[in-house]
Structure 1
């Protein structure tokens, strides 16, 4: 219906703001060539849906500029607002992409951390086993003479026992 709706909103927002009463009759809306806008009622409905105007309650012929409409005009107009909204949407998309990328990176790091922890546990178990082996070896090294003494006594007692058996 309105191929250039944003340009029409820009033009008529300017007309509303330039009006001393900050209002226009629906029939006073203009197209981009300055002619009376066809289907001005539908156009006014669109502007009201976007919060730019309010209708006078009785017959909906007079369109009053809202505070939002004044603020948008004051800050550069409807097209400027759309441009800024587009930039903010673009920024939001970039932010969402960055968030997704960071979440993937975080999951990768968490996976690597888990694998590292598993490796550490295995190495800790291995170290514990090696420490036990070292304790056993150090005990043997420390008490080798006692072990040999005990074996010697055992052999001596066996020989003595055999001799005693021969005598009896």
Structure 2
């Protein structure tokens, strides 16, 4: 199939549009033929613990876009009552992605939105932390980073700025 400009479009086996271009560590498309970062497989069903472990590994490696994809799988495949949590965590990861790409405005907005979603789902201070998620720490991290990118506007280092998803002492 061709797009409106007449170029061939990438399609999966079911005919859905899929961009097969290689991507860098922040998810930006690279020219065809360029070696990119391995993409996360789509539609993987993981336990919440496995989701958090894989996403943390990717965040620690400076790949927040890829961590966002892991959270997106959890949000799409998990129980309906947990979708806000996983969507909020995905927003935090993609907010960091935008901040690392230099999109301060979009990054700050997504960081704040994700912080609110995670806090709201987790119940706030004094409540049990589902899956060991440090909702208060994540919200603080996200809002501080949002303020910094709003103020400075410069791209952030995704490794140096990576959050810790779980409370100290929670097994990874």
**Shared fold per TM-score greater than 0.5:** no
TM range (shorter): under 0.3
Structure of higher CA gyration radius:
1
More contact order relative to length (CA 8 Å, sep ≥ 6): 2
Instruction: Name the structure with the higher helix share.
Output: 1
* TM-score after normalising by structure 2: 0.24
* TM-score after normalising by structure 1: 0.25
Instruction: Name the structure with the higher strand share.
Output: 1
